[in-house]
A and B are shown apart, each in its own frame.
Chain A
Amino acid sequence: MVLLPRPTPGPVPSAGPSSSLSRCPRIPSPGGTLSPLPGDTSVLAGLYGPAEVKGSRESPDGATVEVLLRPKVGLPGVAERSREQLLRRTFEAVLLGSLHPRTSITVVLQVLSDAGSLLACCLNAACMGLLDAGLPLSSLFCGVTCALDPHGDIILDPTARQEQEAHAVLTFAIDSAQRKVLATTTRGSCSAEEMQRCLVAAQRAADTIFQFYRDCVQRKYSKS
């Protein structure tokens, strides 16, 4: 188990995202598990696959990706379904599913705690899980959340309170190959210029996150 020092959550100026605490436990049954925690948000990702898929859902062209997002409390509802669809289509875009036809790849995301930037955390957890499981990917991806506060400043990796006070919160999934946008979802309204500014900030922050993935994987293989 490796622990990184974690800063206290607080307002983060438009610098990189707060550094993450990451534990890499060894759980035998799922293919890969990881739980990064930006600030106090933590999501556990479990990956199963390539595994057998039942009858009608089998696809001869490639793997069938299934995503299950379990909220911390309560049963999954319509909001979780919508998130699952976004996550599933993001994974399908990067997974080389055609290498594993007629199989299923299941990603189970369990929210352990939510203190803001939840969707970005899910994306990061899932990507590291995919890496841990050793599935073939065309590129990595990361999730970055930007909040626009009432003054028009960009806050990266906002806390729950900052998200509430912001007049717009944008979440981007950025790929590692050319820093293109894989997925985006927004809350609140903003102008087109503000969105472009947030996108540029998110693309820069993505560099930090990809470096973090690299360090994590390096650590994992250097100790064994």
Chain B
Amino acid sequence: MQKENCRPDGRELGEFRATTVNIGSITTADGSALVKLGNTTVICGVKAELAAPALDSANKGYIVPNVELPSLCSTRFRSGPPGEEAQAASQFIADVIENSQIIAKEDLCIADGKLAWVLYCDIICLDYDGNILDASTFALLAALKNVQLPSVTINEETGLSEVNLKQKNPLVIRKHPVATSFAIFDDTLLIVDPTAEEEDLATGTVTVVTDEDDRLCSVHKPGGSPLTGAKLQDCISRAITRHKEVKKLIDKVIKSIKPK
């Protein structure tokens, strides 16, 4: 692969797999999205519930992501409690949400100190073929754009909340973070969007998350082969280019499902 600059599936070193996204497929969820990056299939469902805000941040709601890598997606995962990879992925998504400020938690608050929305974002992998972080971030972003929250008012006399399911508002998405993952081979070769086979053979991985202002929301390099600052900069530049492609795709899909 190194000599011919070509990968087992015929892609260039800097080429992504075909990305497809399907929004709103789960009607029982408040928002959902299915993302396919080549064979890697990830679905994200968002459920909104009501809860009292935390005591130290009375004007903020909650966003709770959870990434599941069930045994159905790959033989490498056994059923039972979440393994290290699923937990690390969940933490990564939580960090991306926090760092990028994709949704301001203040927007989720309905009544200070009394009522706020909790968004449970369940990201489930249906088919594992590498690059789970990119697919999960994309699925989360698409699902959140699809979320319609019913309007909630607090009845002054009874103090109870009244949910109006007929009147729904979309979430205000402040930023659009997009993740780009690279696999490192022997300190020198960097390939974009690794498949499961390439990830197993790689000596390290890097994931760069950028938003539309070209700011870095996360540079996630969990160990692995060392990289120079220049190589890291190359990754960042590639990530910024990828962001534009993904943003165009998401905008196209959202426009195509205008509410009836």
Q: Which residues of A contact B (CB under 8 A)?
A: 78-79, 81-82, 84-93, 170, 173, 175, 177-178, 180-192, 195-196, 199-200, 203
Contacts and interface: CB of A to CB of B under 8 A. Distances in A.
Q: Contact size class for B?
A: 35 or more
B91 A173 contact: no
B138 interface: no
Contact of B88 (A81, A199, A203): A81
B8 interface: no
Contacts of B38: none
B143 to A, nearest CB: 20
Contacts, number: 111
- By DSSP majority rule, is chain A's interface helix, strand, loop, or mixed? helix
The 6 closest A-B pairs by CB, nearest first: A89-B223, A180-B226, A90-B223, A82-B91, A81-B87, A86-B222
B92 A82 contact: yes
Interface stretch (B15-23, B29-37, B212-220, B241-249): B212-220
Given A85-B222, A184-B221, A189 B211 contact: yes
12 contacts: A81-B91, A85-B85, A89-B224, A93-B203, A180-B187, A182-B223, A182-B224, A185-B218, A189-B215, A189-B216, A195-B216, A203-B229
B100 A189 contact: yes
Given A92-B223, A175-B226, A181-B227, 8 more contacts: A81-B88, A82-B222, A85-B223, A185-B220, A186-B216, A187-B98, A190-B215, A192-B240
Nearest to A190: B216
Given A93-B204, A187-B99, A200-B229, A195 B219 contact: yes
Given A82-B91, A192-B236, A183 B221 contact: yes
A196 B232 CA distance: 9
A199 B214 CA distance: 18
